[in-house]
Amino acid sequence: MPSPTETPPLIHARGLTKRFGEFTAVDAIDFDVAPGESFGFLGPNGAGKTSTMRMVACVSPVTAGTLRILDLDPNADGPQIRGRLGVVPQQDTLDTELSVKDNLVIYGRYFGLSRAEAGRRGDELLDFAQLTERAKDKVEPLSGGMKRRLTIARALINEPSILLLDEPTTGLDPQARHLLWERLYRLKQRGVTLVLTTHYMDEAEQLCDRLVVMDKARIVAEGSPRELIEQHSSREVTELRFPVGVQETLDGQLDGLGERIEQLPDRVLVYSDDGEAVAAVAHQRGLQPETVLVRRSSLEDVFLRLTGRSLVD
Amino acid sequence: MAVAEARHGGDGGSLLPATGSGVPRQSAVRAALAAYEHMWLLYRRTWRGSIFGSFAQPVLFLVAMGIGLGGYVDASNNSAMGGVPYIVFLAPALLVSTVMQGAAFEGTFPVLGGFRWNRRYHAMYSTPLTPDAIAFGQIGWTATRSTMTGAIFCLVIVLFGAAGSPAIVWSVPIGTLTGLAFAAPIAAYMSTQRDTTAFNSIWRFGITPLFLFSGTFFPIEQLPDAIRWVAWLFPLWHGVDLARSLSLGTVWQDPIVQLAHLAILTAFAVVGVVAMFVMFRRQLAK
């Protein structure tokens, strides 16, 4: 695997900015994506992830800054770049009046594939998306998970250099999400470069080699999931949930517990390297939480630390 | 061709290469044809639902208006129809008006859907297709559909013996041109809309009144002087009068007016198509 220093990055952004009138959706962000990498944008709704993805997908003009994709300029070579991207948009754009297979074939035609070639690739991709039995069915009655898999299959019809996924599993039930992650993981194993946005920390942890945390149009941290947790959080978290009304009366009693304390509306998070020890100390101090949960730090905690807010409201 | 070999490896570990296989730059024409092909494919999958209507509508109108109403009109020996049976007077105009309605419709829901509902245009735009290619696909398909509707209508007219002369076939391209003169500006406008409110207004205050009062069923000379000029403002009467004059062979009675009809229709269609291309670019590349 070539290292990022040897090959030019597939995506190169410096001071990348998107404004809609007075509103700044993306505020001078820098990032690079190397070939074969899985790169994520993690952040809450409205952080600027989708606007960034749309610029990378060459469907939204860059307001300011530098953006190079596949060493080409989106302004000048948009159609050519788009020819080498696979796009899985946040909202399904499948043609619900056409069959599953037709959706793949006509999409292949947009990339200049012959009907025969588009059909051949379509069959393989239906197999990959586990939709072969539904090839002749209309899209409309498919489940949400099936539609997402079809959208991903469609995005692969041109054998893209980069697969862009905007919130790929939002709105899916847990089983459908896991199936989708498994398929995406397979693509990653095959060396497909994935770029995805998500506001699910577990998705970011599962799929991303490296990610940036976005908040209010800016990148606030960058690294692998593990690095981010090490840098911005402790090893473990002790969650203390008190009976209604009690948490507000605890002033001072929590001081010195663990390395750091976050008070959420419904619970107290205590960050430390040893969560069980914190729980024990809390009991010694006579605190009587209703429930105590000790867990490992996650990207959710990183986000809370960096922005003072939760990822999912 | 390592790429092709890899793909034929079944469910092996290499369906896709690490980097793209270098999809070549597509020509604008090819991109436009691909967008058009999508509409054609949609039609091929759904034509059975609409083909009956394409024949039934002209038959119903010609029976009700041409034969039913026409019987009374002809019995009154009115000279306003230029001395031909009412059904012959009506047929080319009805063809143009019907094509216009179908085309106007193609400029509403399919366009709104492409941007807002099934978001077909957004899917197209995430590929090498450009907004111009997408707009071409939509309006090119509308022209095709209009021509098909007109041709079927023309066939029905001939079968009814309602054709004034072989020149009735001119009604088909005139119908298509009239259709574009409506569909393109409507599509340009609908690209900016978020819901169907505008559709209802366009139909209630535009398409239906024009259908009734643009000289299709009676000469516009029957309209009060005060509102007759309105017919000049919109493309439908121009298409109706031109198709009728060609069909009845009266085109040389007033060639300047007929030329003006053609010029106005063409102007509406061209300006409409340009507006549509501009709006599609604006709406997609945000």
Å between B284 CA and nearest CA of chain A: 7
- Supply A85's token pair: 């991207």
Please answer yes or no on whether A192 and B127 come within 8 Å at the CB atom: no
Shortest CA distance from B20: residue in chain A: A161
User: What CA–CA distance (Å, rounded) separates A182 from A99?
Assistant: 25
Give the count of beta carbons closer than 10 Å to the beta carbon of residue A290: 11
User: What CA–CA distance (Å, rounded) separates A138 from A141?
Assistant: 7
φ and ψ at A41, to 5 degrees?
-110, 115
Bridge partners, residue A212, by sequence: A41, A222
Please answer yes or no on whether A96 and B45 come within 8 Å at the CB atom: no
Mutual angle of helices A225-232 and A299-307, in 10-degree steps: 50
Which residues of chain B lie closer than 8 angstroms to A70, CB-CB? 20
Please answer yes or no on whether A83 and B3 come within 8 Å at the CB atom: no
Do residues B45 and A134 lie in contact, with contact meaning Cβ atoms separated by under 8 Å? no
Number of CB pairs, chain A paired with chain B, less than 8 A apart? 126
Query: For chain B, which ranges sit under pLDDT 50?
Result: 1-23
Q: How would you class B77 by CB atoms within 10 Å of its CB: exposed for 0-12, middle for 13-18, buried for 19 or more?
A: exposed
Please answer yes or no on whether B25 and A83 come within 8 Å at the CB atom: yes
Å between B250 CA and nearest CA of chain A: 46
Please answer yes or no on whether B42 and A97 come within 8 Å at the CB atom: yes
Residues A156-191: b if buried by 16+ CB within 10 A, e if exposed: bbbbbbbbbbbbbbbebeeebbebbbebbeebbebb
**Out of A59, A102, A128, closest to residue B15 by CB:** A128
Please answer yes or no on whether A79 and B15 come within 8 Å at the CB atom: no
Query: For chain A, which ranges sit under pLDDT 50?
Result: 1-2, 4
Shortest CA distance from B14: residue in chain A: A190
Write the CA distances from A108 to A153, A281, A306, integer angstroms. 11, 62, 43
Which residues of chain A lie closer than 8 angstroms to B285, CB-CB? 59-61
Whether the CB of B3 is below 8 Å from some CB of chain A: the reply is yes
Radius of gyration, CA atoms only, chain B: 23
User: What CA–CA distance (Å, rounded) separates B55 from B136?
Assistant: 27
Which residues of chain B lie closer than 8 angstroms to A87, CB-CB? 126
**Out of A98, A159, A160, closest to residue B41 by CB:** A98
Please answer yes or no on whether B128 and A94 come within 8 Å at the CB atom: no
Q: How would you class B253 by CB atoms within 10 Å of its CB: exposed for 0-12, middle for 13-18, buried for 19 or more?
A: exposed
Per-residue pLDDT tens over the stretch A31-79: 999 999 999 999 888 899 999 999 999 999 999 999 999 999 999 999 9
pLDDT at A247: 84
Please answer yes or no on whether A110 and B120 come within 8 Å at the CB atom: no
User: What CA–CA distance (Å, rounded) separates A106 from B33?
Assistant: 12
pLDDT at B132: 96
pLDDT at A6: 62
Shortest CA distance from B44: residue in chain A: A98
Per-residue pLDDT tens over the stretch A158-194: 999 999 999 998 888 899 899 989 989 999 998 899 9
ipTM exceeding the 0.95 mark: no
pLDDT at B128: 96
The residues near A64 (Cβ < 8 Å, ≥ 6 apart) are A15, A16, A17, A19, A28
**Out of B19, B23, B37, closest to residue A109 by CB:** B37
User: How far is Cα of residue A302 from the mean position of the Cα atoms in its chain?
Assistant: 15
Please answer yes or no on whether B122 and A93 come within 8 Å at the CB atom: yes
Which residues of chain B lie closer than 8 angstroms to A99, CB-CB? 45
User: What CA–CA distance (Å, rounded) separates A85 from A185?
Assistant: 18
Q: Which of A103, A121, A159 to mutate to test the interface with B (most CBs of B within 10 A)?
A: A159
Please answer yes or no on whether B129 and A110 come within 8 Å at the CB atom: yes
